[in-house]
Structure 1
Amino acid sequence: MKIAVGIATSGRRAVLSEMLDYLARQIRTPDAIYLCPASDDDIDLDIGLSLDLGVPVHLVHGERGLCAQRNAILDAAAGYDLISFFDDDFLPKTCFLSRAERLFTDNSDIVVATGKVLADGIHGAGLSVSEAVAILEADVGDDANEPHRSVFNAYGCNMTFRMTAILDVGARFDENLPLYGWQEDVDFCRRLPARGTIVRCPALRGVHLGHKSGRISGLRFGYSQVANPLYLVGKGTVGLRWALRLMACNVGANILGSLASQTIIDRRGRLKGNLIAISDLLLRRLRPQRILEIGSAMPKS
C-alpha cells in the first residue's frame, strides 16, 4: 500500500518539528508527509531538509481552519491507498503505520481506523514531547492483540482512512466548522459507513500531547460546544439525543468548573460561550461560523 500522512498545523511550530522528528522513526515509514500550515509562520519551510526525515515532505497551502487545511491535504494526496491524519501534537508509536497497513490489508471492509490513545493531555495541562516519548517507550502493549471493534467515529487526533472510500462518496471536511472545527471528525467519519466499517484498533497506539498553543479561546470553544452539535443534527450527521447528551456533559462541566478556581481550562470563558450560543439559538441565528465574530463580546446584530 501507498501511505500518506497528513498534518494540518497552526501555532505549534516547535512542537511540530519534534513530532515530525519522532514520526520519522516509524518502522514502516510513510511514502509521503503532507503538511498544511495555517500560515507560513507555523512551519520551517525547509523542514524536510532540516530534520533529515528520509521521507518526501510536501507543503500544501489551504485556507486557515482545520477543515479547510485537511481538505487541501486530501486534494494533494488523492493518489494514495491510505491516509493517516495526525494532529500536530500526536506522537504515534513506531509500529503505528506498519500495523495500520496490516489492518487494512487483512480487512477489506474497514474504511476508517483510530487507535488507542495511551495518554491524552487534552484533559489537563498537556504533555511534553519527552513525557510522551517516555510513555510510548514504557508501553508493553498488553492489549495490542485484542481485536478491533466497531465505533461511531474516529478520534480526530489519529484517523486512518482508506482513500477509495473517501473518493467514492466525495467526502470533505465541512468548512462551515471554522477554526478548530470541533466535531469535524464525527461529521467526516459518518459520511463513510455505507462504504465499510469504522473501527478502533488497540494495536494502533500513540500519545496526544494536548498542547494548549494553537487552540481557540474558551469563549469561542464554548460557543462551538453548542453550535456545532446542533449544526450536525441539522445536517443529519448525528441524532438529536447524541447532540443533547454531548452538550449537557460539556455545559455541566463548565458550570461546575466555573465555581472552582480557574485552571489551564477556561471554564468561565467556555460557559459564557455556551450561554451566547443558547441565546443565539433562541434568536434563530445560531451557526458555527459565529465564532469568527466573537471577541470579548458579541457584536450587535
Structure 2
Amino acid sequence: MEFAAAWTYQNGTPGPLMAAGAADRALRPGLTVAICTYQRPASLSRLVDSLAAQERTPDALIVVDASANSATEDVLKAHACLPRVAGAVVYIRVIESMRGLPKQRNLCVRYVDTDLTAFLDDDVVLLPGCLAEMERQHRLLGNQVVGVGAVIEGDAAPTRLWMLRLILRMVPSLEPGRYYRSGMSTPWRFQDIEDDVVPVDWLPGGAAAWRTEIVQRLGFRTAFSGYAQGEDLEFSLRARRYGALYAVGGARLLHLHEPSGRPDSFARGYMAIRNRYQIHRIGVPDRTWKDVAWFIYAWTVDTVLLGRHLIRPSGGLQVAMEVSGRVRAAYDLLRGHS
C-alpha cells in the first residue's frame, strides 16, 4: 500500500514502518490509542500533551493523517512528549484515495496488536485517569462488553430543542445514549453519569475503547466517506450485536470543537439525511413501513425546526445551505439514489 509518509518511534529510536500483521494474529493484552486526523496539527499536539499526562499511557499510539501537507507530521515528530506518550508510535500519512474517517480507522486497526483499541478525535483533551478508567471497566466487565465510551464534559440538562422533539414525539423519551426507531439518537449529556457505568445503544466515535477483535471483524463502513457523519452510530449498532456498550462516568474528556477539517453546510445537511437513512435501513431490526413513516416524520419536522434559524440576521445563509442539503438528500433517496 502506498503512503505519502510512514514511520515508527520506539524506545527512543525512529524507524521505518513495518508491514501490518496478519488479520488472524494473536492480540496481546494492552491498549492502543488510534487517532485519525486531517489538517489539525495544533489540535493533535494538544491531545498528545494530554495523553502523555495520563497515569496510564497507551501501549501504542497510531496516527493516520489525511492532511495534504506535512504540517501535522512535523509537529508530531518535534513534540517533546513523543518519547513518553506511548510504548510505540506509528505515524502514517495517506494519499488522497485513502482519505476519509472510516478508511483511516480501518487502516489503524491493521497495525493494532493489543486486545483493546481506543479511538480518539484529534480535538479532544483527556482529563486525568480517562484511559485507565476505560481500560479498567473493560477488564472488569469482560467479554460481556464490546465497547465503552468516555463522557464528554458539558451541560447535562436537555435543551429546549430536545424538549420540543420529545413533545412532538420525534423521540419517545430523552433517556441518554439511545437510538430510536424514528432514526434519532439521544445525546449522552442529558444525564450526569458521574462515576456510574450506564448501558447505552451507541458510543461516540471520538471517545470510545473497543475490543480490537470486534473492530477487525466488522470494520468501519467505507460507504460513509469523507467526514462520515453518523459512522460512530452505525458501527455501534452493528457492534452491540456481539455485546454490551457502556458509558463510563469515571472516564472524562473535553471536546474542543475544531472548526477546520469539517464539511460545508450543504454537505453536512446532505449527510444528516442520507447517512441517517442508511443507518435506519441497516440498524433497525425488523424494520416496517411504520418505522419508515416515523423516520420521515421525525426528520421532516427536524428540518422545519432547523429552518427557524433563517429569521436570524446572522447565520441565515449557512442554515439555508444546510436545509438545502437535507432537501437534496431526500430528493435523491426518493429517486432511489441511496
Query: Taking structure 2 as the reference length, what is the TM-score of the superposition?
Result: 0.71
Letter in 2 for 1:204: A
What displacement does 1:157 show?
A: 2.2
SS of alignment partner, residue 85 of structure 1 = strand
1:69 to 85, 104, 116: 104
Instruction: Map Cα deviations across residues 19-55 of structure 1 (whole Å, 9 max, x no partner).
Output: 2122211110011111111125251246144332312
SS of alignment partner, residue 202 of structure 1 = strand
Letter in 1 for 2:154: A
Partner of 1:211: 258
Flag the 1:153–1:248 CA change in 2: closer, same or farther, 3 A: farther
Instruction: Report whether the alignment pairs 1:145 with 2:177.
Output: no
Flag the 1:143–1:185 CA change in 2: closer, same or farther, 3 A: closer
Instruction: Map Cα deviations across residues 144-186 of structure 1 (whole Å, 9 max, x no partner).
Output: 322x12111101221110113334xx11111111111011001
Partner of 2:25: none
2:55 to 10, 21, 27: 27
Letter in 2 for 1:52: C
What displacement does 1:252 show?
A: 3.3
Residue 41 of structure 2 contacts residue 75 of structure 2 at CA under 8 Å; is this kept in 1? no
| Structure 1: stretches of 5+ with no match in the other structure | 124-141, 288-301
| Structure 2: stretches of 5+ with no match in the other structure | 1-28, 160-191
Q: Distance in 1 between matches of 2:250 and 2:195?
A: 6
Partner of 1:155: 204
Partner of 1:198: 245
What displacement does 1:262 show?
A: 3.0
Q: Once the two structures are aligned, what percentage of the paired residues are identical?
A: 24
Partner of 1:293: none
SS of alignment partner, residue 193 of structure 1 = helix
Residue 153 of structure 2 contacts residue 254 of structure 2 at CA under 8 Å; is this kept in 1? yes
Partner of 2:20: none
Say how many residue pairs are matched: 262
Residue 251 of structure 1 contacts residue 274 of structure 1 at CA under 8 Å; is this kept in 2? yes
1:274 to 299, 305, 326: 326
Partner of 2:81: 52
Q: Distance in 2 between matches of 1:249 and 1:84?
A: 36
State the structure with more CA Rg.
2
Map residues 1-301 of structure 1 onto 2, 5 A cutoff: 1-41=29-69, 43-45=72-74, 47-53=76-82, 54=84, 55=86, 56-62=88-94, 63-77=98-112, 79-108=113-142, 109-119=144-154, 144-146=194-196, 148-167=197-216, 170-236=217-283, 240=291, 243-244=295-296, 247-248=299-300, 250-263=302-315, 266-285=318-337, 287=338
Flag the 1:265–1:247 CA change in 2: closer, same or farther, 3 A: farther
Structure 1 stretches of at least 4 aligned residues deviating more than 6 Å after TM superposition? none
Flag the 1:250–1:66 CA change in 2: closer, same or farther, 3 A: farther
More off after superposition, 231-240 vs 171-180: 231-240
Letter in 1 for 2:118: S
Flag the 1:195–1:278 CA change in 2: closer, same or farther, 3 A: closer
Query: Taking structure 1 as the reference length, what is the TM-score of the superposition?
Result: 0.79
What displacement does 1:263 show?
A: 3.8
Letter in 2 for 1:235: I
